[in-house]
Amino acid sequence: MMVRYEIGDIVKMKKSHPCGSDRWEITRTGIDFRLKCLGCDHYVMIPRPKFEKAVKEILERKESIE
């Protein structure tokens, strides 16, 4: 089963960022993911296969308005 990631979700990665944080906010999805480090506000782009291997867990889901 494929996990569905949404913009605004907070994920925990297996490896931490050099600033020490391992929490990231998803700001773009698609073939590539754009992530914002919640420790230092640095942005990175990661290809989908690498992102899916690196995610440890989803900490918070974006609230959907329906």
Q: Is the separation of the CB atoms in 40 and 22 below 8 Å?
A: no
The token duo for 48 is 């989908």
Specify the pLDDT at position 2. 74
Closest to 21 in 3D by CA, of 61, 64, 59:
59
Task: Provide the whole-model pTM.
Answer: 0.85
The Cα 51–Cα 24 span in angstroms is 11
Is pLDDT of 30 > 70? yes
Written as one letter, the residue type at 50 is: K
Average pLDDT over residues 42-58: 95
According to DSSP, residue 7 is labeled T
